[in-house]
């Protein structure tokens, strides 16, 4: 029995065992009797829909004949009209192994690369990311010597698929993708640069963040100037002016990190003044311009705080009270400033205590990147622990528990910087910790060592 006939043989055996003729099985399965006859005679390929009807009629699991159908895809003639729905079906049901076998054979002929790329895009849009990644990876390997835009776009999609809560894994994915970003179409480059920037912010690579923000600004300004001339060109994921504003926002954050508050305020003025030059006046444009104006107001208060103005804390708190999506980020900034300048912020912590638990902030535009927010929360826990200890050194349990919580959260997201911070703080306060806290710390440090051994991230000496 030839392999490509095995589904037919299974079907014939079933019909013989049940003493069913073509007409009876046709009525039972829903397959047209003429089509059934041609299938069993081996003169017609089996479609995915017919495979589903055969599988159902035989009372088999939905994926029972998938391995055999891989061979059916290459029987008679190769047709993407048959192969495409089967790949999608495999993605839905988690049979990535079948997709791998099909793709490997198809790519013996590179003329199928464009069709497979299109299927990958369809799967990505439907959020079957692992199946899409398998196709993108194979397409990129097939085009590795072409330096094509499609190769770069595959690497971009693979980068997006890899992003998750593991900050170190995200960073490694960013480093692999960064070599491809300048090969993308300019419309895609802008969103790709934003994604790279967001990853690098979480691992505090500020010099590179600033370089990428400068490149984003250059490309977006050129595109915006040419926008009216090139209406038929491929559109960026967000309005082009958004990337101009975002680049200025990022560059202000870099200045903040380097304590250059004068420079930061220069960029605040730029991204707050979008209404003076943005041509669009639709609902989306108005929303985005207002969003950046609000961020500008919040950051102006923040830079006053970082300059040591105690009264600015309450101006900042009152401002964010009307902007719930900003409260947690504001709290984390206020706690850092309190530790630096010795401010008393107990009343503010009490006022906003409902916003302290970690939660992702959703929104159509301007929402905080979840990984950035997660990294900030890990830092917030250790900062809050320091604040609590400085306020009440005679009652250290709350501070130590916060530091342990921060270490646990940092381990979960694999934030090396915050793991080291939390372990350093615990060692500093070790004499105040009870035996249970020390036991928890030892367990968490063992997990840090495991992560370190797996990734060879940083040398750690804590025990």
Q: Do residues 441 and 407 lie in contact, with contact meaning Cβ atoms separated by under 8 Å?
A: yes
Rounded average pLDDT over 341-368 = 75
Residue 231 has pLDDT above 60, yes or no: no
Residue 360 has pLDDT above 60, yes or no: no
Rounded average pLDDT over 62-72 = 94
Give the dihedral sign, CA 172/454/96/125: negative
Q: Over pLDDT 90: what percentage of the chain?
A: 78
Res. 316 pLDDT band, cuts 50 70 90 = very high
* pLDDT of res. 226: 82
Res. 30 pLDDT band, cuts 50 70 90 = very high
Half-sphere exposure (CA, 13 Å, Cβ side) for 174? 24
Res. 186 pLDDT band, cuts 50 70 90 = confident
Other Cβ atoms within 10 Å of 287 Cβ, number: 13
Res. 459 pLDDT band, cuts 50 70 90 = very low
- Which among 250, 170, 244 is positioned nearest to 202, based on CA atoms? 170
Q: pLDDT (tens digit, 9 = 90+) per residue, 74-85?
A: 988 888 999 999
Other Cβ atoms within 10 Å of 260 Cβ, number: 14
For 291, the token pair is 């969003």
- Helix, strand, or coil here: 364? coil
Residue 229 has pLDDT above 80, yes or no: no
Give Dmax over CA atoms of the chain in angstroms: 90
* pLDDT of res. 441: 96
Whole-prediction pTM: 0.84
Q: Between 5 and 172, whose confidence is greater?
A: 172
Q: pLDDT (tens digit, 9 = 90+) per residue, 253-297?
A: 999 999 999 999 999 999 999 999 999 999 999 999 999 999 999
CA–CA gap between residue 435 and residue 424 (Å, rounded): 18
Residue 362 has pLDDT above 50, yes or no: no
CA–CA gap between residue 452 and residue 39 (Å, rounded): 57
Q: pLDDT (tens digit, 9 = 90+) per residue, 422-451?
A: 999 999 999 999 999 999 999 999 999 988
Residue with tokens 């979960």: 412
Q: pLDDT (tens digit, 9 = 90+) per residue, 107-151?
A: 999 999 999 999 999 999 999 999 999 999 999 999 887 768 999
**pLDDT, the chain, mean:** 90
Give the dihedral sign, CA 236/238/241/245: negative
Rounded average pLDDT over 10-28 = 92
Q: Do residues 301 and 312 lie in contact, with contact meaning Cβ atoms separated by under 8 Å?
A: yes
């Amino acid at each position: 029995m030839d392999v490509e006939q095995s589904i037919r043989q299974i079907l014939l055996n079933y019909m013989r065992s049940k003493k069913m003729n073509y007409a009876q099985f046709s009525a039972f399965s829903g397959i047209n009797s003429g089509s059934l006859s041609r299938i069993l005679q081996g003169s017609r390929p089996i479609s995915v829909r017919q495979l589903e009807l055969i599988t159902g009629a035989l009372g088999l699991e939905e994926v029972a004949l998938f391995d055999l159908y891989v061979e059916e895809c290459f029987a008679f003639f190769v047709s993407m009209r048959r192969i495409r729905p089967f790949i999608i079906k495999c993605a839905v049901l988690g049979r990535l192994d079948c997709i791998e076998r099909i793709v490997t054979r198809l790519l013996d002929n590179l003329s199928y690369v464009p069709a497979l790329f299109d299927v990958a895009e369809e799967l990505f849009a439907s959020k079957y990311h692992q199946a899409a990644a398998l196709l993108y990876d194979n397409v990129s390997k097939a085009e590795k010597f072409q330096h094509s835009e499609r190769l770069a776009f595959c690497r971009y999609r693979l980068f997006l698929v890899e992003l998750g809560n593991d900050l170190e894994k995200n960073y490694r994915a960013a480093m692999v993708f960064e070599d491809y970003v300048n090969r993308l179409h300019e419309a895609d480059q802008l969103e790709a640069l934003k994604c790279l920037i967001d990853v690098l912010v979480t691992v505090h690579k500020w010099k590179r963040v600033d370089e990428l923000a400068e490149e984003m600004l250059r490309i977006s300004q050129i595109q915006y100037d040419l926008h009216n001339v090139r209406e038929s060109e491929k559109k960026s994921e967000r309005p082009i002016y958004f990337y101009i504003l975002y680049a200025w926002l990022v560059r202000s954050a870099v200045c903040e990190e380097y304590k250059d508050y004068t420079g930061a305020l220069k960029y605040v003025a730029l991204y707050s003044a979008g209404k003076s030059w943005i041509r669009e006046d639709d609902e989306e444009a108005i929303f985005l311009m207002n969003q950046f104006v609000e961020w500008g107001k919040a950051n102006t208060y923040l830079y006053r705080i970082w300059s040591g103005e105690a009264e600015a804390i309450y101006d900042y708190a009152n401002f964010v009270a009307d902007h719930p999506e900003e409260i947690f980020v504001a709290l984390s900034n206020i706690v850092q400033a309190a530790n630096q300048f010795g401010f008393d912020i107990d009343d503010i912590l009490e006022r906003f205590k409902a916003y302290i638990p970690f939660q992702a902030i959703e929104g159509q535009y301007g929402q905080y990147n979840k990984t950035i927010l997660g990294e900030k929360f890990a830092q917030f826990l250790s900062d809050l622990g320091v604040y609590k200890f400085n306020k009440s050194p005679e009652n250290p349990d709350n501070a130590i528990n916060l530091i342990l919580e921060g270490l646990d959260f940092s381990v979960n997201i694999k934030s090396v910087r915050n793991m080291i911070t939390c372990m350093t703080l615990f060692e500093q306060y070790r004499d105040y910790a009870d035996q249970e806290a020390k036991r928890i710390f030892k367990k968490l440090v063992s997990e840090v060592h495991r992560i370190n051994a797996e990734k060879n991230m940083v040398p750690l000496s804590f025990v």
